[in-house]
Structure formats: C-alpha cells, structure tokens
Amino acid sequence: MCHIYNELGIICDETGDYRLALAFYQKALEIQRKSSRSNHYSLSTVYNNIGEIQRELGDYFAALSCHQKTLSIKQKILSPHHLSLATTYNNLGLANQSLGEFATALEFYGKSLDIKRKVLSPTHIDLAITYNNMGELQREMGKYAAALKYFEKGLQIRLKTCSPYDSSLAITYNNIGLIHREQGDYNQAIVYFRKSLEIKQKTFTSNHPSLAISYINIGEIHQLLGEFSEAISSYEKALEIQEKAYSINHPDLAITYNNLGVVHQLLGNYPSGLSFYQKALKIRQKSLPSNHPALATSYNNIGHVSQLMGDNNAALEYYQKTKSVQEKCLGPNHPSLAVTFNNLGDIQRTLGNHKRALGLYEKSLEIKKKSLASNHPALSVTYNNIGVVYQTMQKHALALEHYKKALENQQKNFPLDHPEIALSYYNIGTAHQSIKQYSIALENYEKALKIHEKTLSANHPDLAHIYNSTATAYFHMGQYQKALEHEQRAVDISIQSLPPDHPHLQTFKLHLQRIQSELEVK
C-alpha cells in the first residue's frame, strides 16, 4: 500500500495538484514508519517527496526539515559519493534558497555538483539540474553574469539530451529570460519567456502552476515596456491559475498580488496598488522568515505608494524596514539595495534634506554601476533623481547633464513612447524653466505630455504635474489664458486621483488662484 500511495502522490505532483499529492505522501509515510526501521532507504524517499511538495506549497521550513531527515538516513547507509546524496544536497540547497539562506544554499549545491562530476558523464541531465539551480541562486544574489553562464551550461546539456518539448527546457528558457530582463534586454527576455510558455502549453494541463510563472514573467516585461493593459491581462491569467492550485497563504500568490499592485500604481490607481501590496505582505509575513528578501520587496512597495499618496512618514518607515532586511540577507552591492538607497533619497529630498538626498542617490548609483550593465535602464532612474537634487540646489548645468544622461540611456532601452522617456523630457523642461528658457521648457513638456496621453489614464497624477508646469511656463510668458486652462486641468485631475489634503492638490489650487487673480487685473 505504501508504494501505491507514493505513486499516487507522484501523479498528483506532476499534474500540479500539490495538496492531494501531500495527502498521499503522508499516508505513505505513515505506513512506512510502521513497517520499516528508522534508517530504511525507502523511508528517506518518502521524506524527500514530502519535502519537495512542501516546498511547492510554500512551507519552506517543513520542506527543510524533511530533507534534513532524508540526509540523516542516507548518510548512515550510503557511501559519501553516492548519487542519491547529490539529489538530497540539491534539495537542501533549494529549501535554503527559498528561505533566503543563500550562503548555505550555495554550499549544498556545491556538494551536489562535486558528487555528480565524479560519477556522471559531462552531458548527463542531472548536471544540468544543478547548473540551473546554481544559476538561479546567483541571479537572486544579483550576480547576473555568473548566473547566465550556469544557465547556458545547463541549456547545452538539455539541448543534447532532451526532446524539443521537455518541461526542463521550459525552465531553462525561462531562467535565461530572467537574466536578460535583469540586464535590461527586455526584447530578448520576452523571446525566452515565450519559448518557455510554448513548451509548457504543450506539456502541462491548462491550470498547472508552472504556466502561471510564465504569465507573470511575460506580464513583467509588458509592464517594463509601459504596456500596462497587457501586463494586467497576463497577471490575471496567473492569478486565476494560482488561486485554484494553492492555499491562500502561498508565497507565489503574493508575487502576483505584488505585481498587480505595481501596475495599478503605475496607472495612478494608488489605493488599489496599496491594497494589492498589503495582500502580498500579509501572505509573506505568514509564510516566510522575517529577513526574507521578498518581505523587503513588500515593505519597499508599500513605502513607495505611501510616498506617492503624500504620506512621507509611512514611506520612510517602510523604506527603513526594507533596508534593514536587505542588509541582513543580501550583499552590499546587490541591485535591490541600490533601489532602497534611491527611495530613501526620494524621501530626504521631499523633506528638504537635499545634501543627504544627494549622498543617498550617489550611493545608489555606485552600487548600480558595480552590479549592472553600463546601459541598464535602472541607471536612468538615479540619473534623473540626482538631476532633480542639483536643480533644487540651483546647480542647473549639473541638473541638465544628469537629465540628458537619463534620456540617452532610456532611448537605447525603451520604445520612444515609454513613460520613463516622458519623465526625462519633463525634467529637462523644468531645468530650462528654472533658467527662464520658457519656450524650450514648453517644447519638452509637450513631448512628455504627448507620450503620457498615449500611455496613462486620463486622470493619472503625472499628467497633473505636467499641466501645472506648462501653466507656470505660460504664466511667465504672459499667456495667462493658456496658463489658466492648463492649471485648471491639473486641479481637475488631482481632485480625481489624490486625497483632498494632498500637498500637490493644494499647491495646484493656489497656482490656479494666482492665475485667476492676474487675469482679473488684466
């Protein structure tokens, strides 16, 4: 009976029904415990299977415990270089990686690889598995060049040994796509993600959780390219699959909620974005260790949307939580830490601490230059922010220099109607306005507005800022009627998209009153 329950568990595992698989494996374990010695090899097999399912279900501590029991049994009855030990070392690496214990994970993957190299041929598929896992770990650690090398080693083995629609090829294509995404090559990334999805659609059932991973990754590329409706569609496909396959506290659900939060935030739907982020955080707090990198992601995103909603105190609190987690679990030059320094700089700039903000932005730029490609899109964010600080400090030449660096970077990476390019045009416009070059400022505002009207909702807060700045330029040029029209549009948008007491709304209303007063005088 133990064998039958175990086989039923394997079948359910392969079809993505993880909860039923776990139930069958637990029945097999109950029978095996009654009929075998505590160090019987078959008992280690059942522990291994339960550990793998627990990891799929997001219960990483339980998974680690099962794999440790498996290792304890195997070490007593097998030689130190037995291939079965390599499998367990690999699974212990996966469990520790899921818990954010990267150094321990790397140690176990190394043990697994040492055994496999001694007993297997150089093109054996098991070597590809370990190369893939080591690549994924290096990716999470922010070491993208090393990760790509491991993934490509695994791909070469799989192409020689697997059928064209083997599910393991889908995993490898997906992982290579992730590296291209991290390196800012979005067009190449989506090619690999679609290769992966095509294989999965021919291999798995329509509700298999692995399909959800592909939909999420494709959605993220659409999001990065500013194609927000396509991004939401992909994320919703993923969520529909995950809600059927997983428990309500599975970490993968948190990923999808988080991504939906990001898109709604980008569209200016801040309350919806905050709601999705809070759902993600609630799941992660229940399912992950307190210093897991995913918790840092949730803290960061809640901080960001709080900042956009004008709550700088809440934003600062969550960014500091983010930094605390990242410094404990990531290296000092990890790209995620660069994002956090950038966000802390944003808050200090908003609070008027310009020198402190500049130092934080420069720290962010330093990390990015060490860990990312020289033309990575993430560099443009920091160039723009440094430009904003220099402009506030009345150093307009330095501000324009950094804004133009950002624009040059973006034009190499994005479609010409991408929202980030609009931001750079807007910033260049504000710099020219600061030195009273109003006609040049208006040219850049018009470029930014043209892009935003194509890509953003009609009441997006970013549009309000452009209308306000355009109104200011017209005001200084003495064209008060045009200034009035644009400032009224800024106020109307802000009433629709911001809380009544938001400082930006109050500022726009004051500008509107000033323009109206000037018109009355005229």
Contacts of 46 (CB under 8 A, 6+ apart): 2, 6, 25, 28, 29, 32
Within a domain: residue 251? yes
Same domain, 416 and 481: no
Same domain, 381 and 439: yes
pLDDT band at 279 (very low <50, low <70, confident <90, very high): very high
Within a domain: residue 62? no
Within a domain: residue 378? yes
Question: What CATH number has the domain bearing residue 247?
Answer: 1.20.58
Tens digit of each residue's pLDDT (9 = 90 or more) over 69-95:
999 999 999 999 999 999 999 999 999
Q: What is the 8-class DSSP label of residue 501?
A: T
The residue count of the chain comes to 522
pLDDT band at 37 (very low <50, low <70, confident <90, very high): low
pLDDT band at 1 (very low <50, low <70, confident <90, very high): low
Tens digit of each residue's pLDDT (9 = 90 or more) over 111-160:
999 999 999 999 999 999 899 999 989 888 878 888 999 999 999 999 99
Prediction pTM value: 0.57
Six-digit token string for 309: 């909603």
Instruction: Provide the number of structural domains found in the chain.
Output: 3
Same domain, 419 and 437: yes
pLDDT value of position 221: 93
- Angle between helix axes 83-98 and 60-77 (nearest 10 degrees) is 160
CB atoms within 10 A of CB 155: 21
- Coil, strand or helix at 351: coil
Under 8 Å between Cβ of 306 and 314: yes
**What range does the domain containing 406 cover?**
372-389+398-446
Same domain, 378 and 439: yes
Under 8 Å between Cβ of 34 and 21: no
Tens digit of each residue's pLDDT (9 = 90 or more) over 309-325:
999 999 999 999 999 99
Same domain, 464 and 441: no
pLDDT band at 383 (very low <50, low <70, confident <90, very high): very high
- Coil, strand or helix at 160: helix
Within a domain: residue 351? no
Same domain, 430 and 485: no
Within a domain: residue 215? yes
Q: What is the mean pLDDT of residues 227-246?
A: 94
Angle at 93 between CA 283 and CA 246, to 5 degrees: 30
pLDDT value of position 36: 63
Contacts of 55 (CB under 8 A, 6+ apart): 63, 91, 94, 95, 98
Residue 379 CA to residue 450 CA, distance in Å, equals 24
CB atoms within 10 A of CB 94: 22
Residue 501 CA to residue 194 CA, distance in Å, equals 45
Judge whether residue 510 has pLDDT over 90: yes
Tens digit of each residue's pLDDT (9 = 90 or more) over 404-425:
999 999 998 787 888 889 999 9
Same domain, 462 and 441: no
Among 149-153, 368-372, 501-505, the range scoring the smallest mean pLDDT is 368-372
Within a domain: residue 263? yes
pLDDT band at 522 (very low <50, low <70, confident <90, very high): low
Question: What CATH number has the domain bearing residue 472?
Answer: 1.25.40
pLDDT band at 226 (very low <50, low <70, confident <90, very high): confident
Residue 406 CA to residue 378 CA, distance in Å, equals 9
Within a domain: residue 221? yes
Within a domain: residue 72? no
Residue 465 CA to residue 460 CA, distance in Å, equals 10
pLDDT band at 52 (very low <50, low <70, confident <90, very high): confident
Under 8 Å between Cβ of 265 and 457: no
Same domain, 493 and 436: no
| Four-point Cα dihedral 309, 313, 315, 321, nearest 10 | -160
- Coil, strand or helix at 460: coil
Please provide residue 15's backbone torsions phi and psi, each rounded to the nearest 5 degrees: -90, 0
**Residue 1's Cα: distance from chain center in Å?**
44
- Distances in Å between the Cα of 252 and the Cα atoms of 51, 56, 174, 391 are 17, 9, 16, 42
pLDDT value of position 469: 94
Residue 345 CA to residue 316 CA, distance in Å, equals 10
Same domain, 421 and 465: no
Q: What is the mean pLDDT of residues 196-217?
A: 93
Judge whether residue 33 has pLDDT over 90: no
